[in-house]
Amino acid sequence: MPIDFTLTAEQRELQMSARSFARTVLSGVADATRHLATPAERFAATRPFYEQVVKAGFLRRMIPAPLGGEGTGVFDMAVVAEEFQAVDVNVSLTLFGSLLGLMPVMLAGSPAQQRTFIAPFLERAGTPLAAFAFSEPGGSANFASPMPGTGLRTAARLDGEEWVITGAKQWVSSATGWDGNGADLICVVCRTDPTAAPDSAISVIAVPRSAGGIKGIVLERAADLMGHRAHLTPRFRLEQVRTARDNVLGRVGGGLELVEMSFAGTAALVGVFGVALMRAAFDYALNFARTEHRGGATPIIEHQAVGYALADAKMAIEAARYLSWKACHAMDSNAPGAFELALHAKVFGSETAVKVITDLMRVVGIESYDHQCPLAGLLQDAMAYPLFDGGNMGVRRRQLHALLKSPGYDPLTASGAA
């Protein structure tokens, strides 16, 4: 890719395809879900839209080509993410939540595991869901904490040729599936050695769904979210859930590293999510400023304060986009400093989105506080991004702090100037 991040012909085609699909299909999600009372009902109503995402090949397009898909890297995901999220956050997060659910398999699964577990997600049919069951009630920011901290609490023990998993999870996208009985594949982060140090006590174990569901999955409640109103984030229990002994992804006890690897690439994508919401908010505010007089003689864009606010918002959008693009490109090319760039993109993109949308609400005025205006909903959606996928305070800044403290840290590495 050129240093100016000009999209290739293939990437531009992907972008235009995703934009057209979002405008013609995903634009219908809000009308299909907003009138429904419960999170479960709203999530269920998104299923036909997700089915169209799969049928159109976008799930397959995100899975790397060496694993049977058509994806060429994180940058492709970023191109689709911006177009989808700018129109609807719900179905798009279900899509990217499934990709996160597959991430441990893609990163550490054996060839046999990859063939078995990824196969259903390569078909252009159905509504397959995968989930990465990491977060737990009570928080997981210190999941690797040694005693006296409790750290990760979900546990797995061997019983012959099966693992038996017991514990509780929450904030796991789509984990309990369309019917409450489990996603098609759940990758569970659990403690496989109660006495070992964190770097050898934690494993990631794949739990595939059988025809009737995953026995032992108990849905306690689906969170009624502030934003992302039609996306499923359940709290659920695993009550002696059984899965084959060979379903450990990577090595037994290697889960700490695998968790960190799985969440590395998603950090940059959250930056793109923020860009998408800012883009949607800016488009609305710009059109509002061009057409509304608010009782004056000229459109309000003629006023310097409005023009400057729009200019500041547009600068922030471009800065967040190119930082996120650079992070995605660095991840794809395994460049030095890629992880640092991904962290910057996540923190900057998510927090800038909240600020920019709030500032654009000031341009529109009190009407932006009404859900008849899209800015209120966009702000509600944006509020999640500093909090999830590793909270900016509890996880992502701590990771940056650890990088800065490391003896070999070179501040020029991420910029490519080292």
Residues serving a catalytic function are 389
* CA-to-CA separations, 35 to 220, 231, 319, in angstroms, rounded: 23, 14, 36
Closest listed residue to residue 378, CA positions, set 393, 359, 395:
359
Q: Helix, strand, coil shares of the chain as percentages rounded to 5?
A: 55, 15, 35
Asked, as a colleague might, if the bond just before 148 is cis with ω within 30 of 0, I would say: yes
Residue with tokens 């080292």: 418
Separation CA 176–CA 207 (nearest Å)? 12
Cβ-in-10-Å burial (0-12, 13-18, 19+) of 376 comes to middle
**Which tokens go with 355?**
């600020």
Spatial neighbors of 371 by CB under 8 A, at least 6 apart, are 377
Type of residue at 46: T
CA 270 from centre of chain: 6
Compute the distance between CA of residue 272 and CA of residue 15 in angstroms, rounded to an integer. 13
